[in-house]
């Protein structure tokens, strides 16, 4: 029966044999390259200049890489940690949510570029203002409801009038039918 030590010694011998074959092949290849360089009068500088000129794309040459920007995640799922940039189709965890502001990422620009950081800060600031405005309006309405007597029902009419004041009322009016 073959022991573990015997197998490991065979493996070591085969590895040494493989390394010697690789070394021999590389030395033969390098000798051929040196002979070709000498025959054609080439130097390493000539080869480097040729490779740099002919091979590959120059940095920034691709139009696609020049215009592509990193997009910072705007929304995050607190349960799973999954993120979404707000672009494209919404993932299942946020698809049916009416108020997405509770999923906004606070430091949404933590790992983006400088422009993305600025955009992320703007989004976060806008969300904070919106949240403050919404909470202030809710508090104000709750205070009014608490103070208002049940007999006063004019407040909702005033709110409706204020809301529609900024809208284009003329567009909502029915147009007169043209005489036939």
Report the pLDDT value the prediction gives residue 109, as an integer from 0 to 100: 41
Q: Are 91 and 82 in contact (CB under 8 A)?
A: yes
Q: Are 125 and 145 in contact (CB under 8 A)?
A: no
Report the pLDDT value the prediction gives residue 110, as an integer from 0 to 100: 42
Report the pLDDT value the prediction gives residue 46, as an integer from 0 to 100: 86
Q: Are 94 and 75 in contact (CB under 8 A)?
A: yes
Ranges of the chain whose pLDDT falls below 70? 53-68, 107-128, 130-138, 142, 145-180
Which residue in this structure is represented by tokens 């490991």?
A: 8
Q: Are 24 and 18 in contact (CB under 8 A)?
A: no
The span from the CA of 90 to the CA of 30, in Å, is 57
Q: What is the pLDDT of residues 61-82, one digit of tens each?
A: 555 555 667 888 899 988 888 8
State pTM to two decimals: 0.27
What sections of the chain are H helices per DSSP?
4-40, 44-54, 63-67, 92-95, 114-147, 154-165, 169-172
Report the pLDDT value the prediction gives residue 16, as an integer from 0 to 100: 96
The span from the CA of 22 to the CA of 18, in Å, is 6
């Amino acid at each position: 029966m073959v022991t573990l030590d015997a197998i490991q010694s065979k493996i070591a011998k085969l590895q040494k044999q493989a390394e010697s074959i690789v070394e021999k092949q590389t030395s033969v290849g390098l000798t051929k390259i040196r002979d070709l360089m000498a025959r054609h009068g080439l130097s390493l500088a000539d080869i480097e200049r040729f490779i740099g000129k002919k091979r590959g794309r120059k940095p920034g040459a691709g139009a696609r890489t020049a215009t592509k920007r990193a997009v910072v995640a705007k929304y995050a799922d607190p349960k799973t940690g999954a993120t979404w940039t707000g672009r494209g189709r919404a993932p299942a965890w946020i698809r049916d949510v009416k108020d997405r502001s509770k999923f906004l990422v606070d430091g949404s620009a933590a790992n983006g570029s400088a422009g993305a950081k600025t955009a992320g800060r703007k989004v976060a600031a806008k969300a904070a203002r919106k949240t403050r405005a919404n909470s202030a309006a809710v508090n104000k309405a709750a205070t009014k409801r608490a103070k208002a007597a049940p007999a006063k029902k004019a407040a909702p009419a005033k709110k409706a009038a204020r809301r529609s004041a900024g809208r284009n009322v003329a567009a909502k009016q029915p147009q007169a039918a043209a005489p036939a």
